[in-house]
Structure 1
Amino acid sequence: MQPQMQTGPSPTFKGKNWRVWWQLTRPHTLTAAFVPVLLGTALALPLTSIDLGLFIAMLIACLLIQAATNMFNEYYDFKRGLDNEHSVGIGGAIVREGIQPATVMKIALSLYGISMLLGVYICMNSSWWLAAIGLVSMTVGYLYTGGPIPIAYTPFGEIFAGFFMGMLIILIAFYIQTGFVTMISVLISVPIVITVGAILLANNIRDHDGDKENGRKTLAILLGQKRAIFLLAGMFLVSYAWVFTLIGLDYASAWLAIVLLSSPKAIKAIKGFIGKTKPIQMVPAMIATAQTNTIFGFLLSIGLFLGHFLNN
């Protein structure tokens, strides 16, 4: 049964207008767009002079696309009756804050429009082939929760999120600075693919019971909650092991070992899920997973910067 929409703004909407709109973007997920752009640019640093204008345009475009994707998720979760006043987390602004569904959709499409204009600037200064890649990425962002069979309702959500919000952004950010892609840029993007996918897996672990009731077939549902937590732990382990393997094979600077400083957050995330049964109890673990991605990627970028400046 579809939840009833409020006819007017709630007191929270009146008193905290900017916070409601800010939460609608789901800010804890925006780092999944920021980190890959920073990392791709850091990878390009030893090979070329960084074009600051392209970096800023790419960063803003990716943040807008991520925010719009989150709003599509808000809209379609409401339309499919998945969000209600008892929904856990910062989703559900339509049913809790009285925001009109059409308004959410219009804002999301507007953000897409702005990102397309930024994309034109990027293509004018790099390659028009990126226009096709960008359109495919935006389409996937919409189909993630829109369309007849939303990607988020399947076991492939983590793969799509990791590839499009991890590897692809890193490689585009690298390409617009250098004009080419290297094997090292691909290899170093792999752990970010994994940690971005981990954000979605953590979210699906939290929503396991509700998603199952609503007919979703996420990876967390297919594996079961306990196995999904083991998978999440394994994803973190592989991410760290991948970096140290690249260092051991002399494909990357030893400075990248600094990513180990993010491991307490990963441990906190796993511990936060173990033994928890209610969605509200798992929110801190989900946040810790997103923070792991942010800190891991940021430290990876710092390691690349240090390796460049201190070894030259």
Structure 2
Amino acid sequence: MKKRKKFITISFLIIQTAFLFIVHSAFALEKKKVAILNFVPNNVPASYANVVRDITEVRLYKTNAFDILERNRIETILREQGFEQTGCTDTGCAVELGKMLSVDMVVLGSVNKLAKFTITLKFIGVREGSVMYADSEIADVEGVIESSINLLANRSAEGILNLTQGPVKVPAKPSPPENKTMAGYYFRGIIPGLAQHYSDRYVKAAFFGIGFLAGGAYFGYSIYNWSDKRNIYENEDYAGLTEAEQQVLHDKNYDATQKAFRQANIALGIFAGIYLLNWIDVLFLSKPDFSSNTPGILHYNDGVNNIYFSFNLNDNSINEYYNEINCNVKIGISF
């Protein structure tokens, strides 16, 4: 009886400990709620800083480390409270604003231009009342600004997670797509399926790739089978057989050889047919357009005072943010 009570007690303690550990882990893995304020422009137009701020919001969201409070929601809450975020650039103001928004952290950012562009981020802990993490990234304006924001967002997410949950590695973002060319496309057409994969036709790539391998295996087996049957036919052993039995064996081996030969021809036809269909598809059906496969670029022209963000929505990384619309877009702001 005592042993039984002791066993029940120990089991209860183990279950209680496991429950507390699970609850603690659930709270530890809870995403930090973050509000991103308007970025401060230094030697750049405010409209440019706003674009950079919006891109940063998307990149931070994609790290899956934060629960982002949307810009419209921030403006609505502050308007109801009669609070203006303009000029809120210090820690004390950010903490006060964060309490109004009921968030864990407030992100202060700036875009600075000297010879190059520098983007800075500061994560202010509302409960702590201090800077939890700060980082910056330098970028050339043409074609590099987005990748710089991406690097900055990943480092920031990793830094915050390390502070709140211990060492955590944020999964690296996929590397930028390779600069695809028509020469590379046609070269890969030599092996069925590779050209289709190169042009992102993955279903066709699987069909031609598997078909080519299966057809090749069937053709190889058919050649082996025909060679084996022909060897038996050409080296018939008639020892101990009557003339009638020899004729029956000869006819049987001859028929088997002919059947294997026809099977090899059929296999060759299937194999060649798949290869021919592959080239028809490569030349006429899956031919891609690699003329505009560059990702989004944020431009700022000092001379004429305008900003535009251009991108091609055929790029997979951009498609995630713009609803899979296939077109070229150019958004401009003049002032």
Q: Which structure has more strand as a fraction of its residues? A: 2
Aligning the two structures, in what range does the TM-score lie when normalised by the shorter sequence?
under 0.3
Normalized against structure 1, the TM-score is what? 0.23
Q: Which structure's relative contact order is higher, taking Cα pairs within 8 Å and 6+ residues apart? A: 1
Question: Which structure has the larger Rg?
Answer: 2
* Bigger proportion of residues as helix: 1
**TM-score of the superposed pair, with normalisation by structure 2:** 0.22
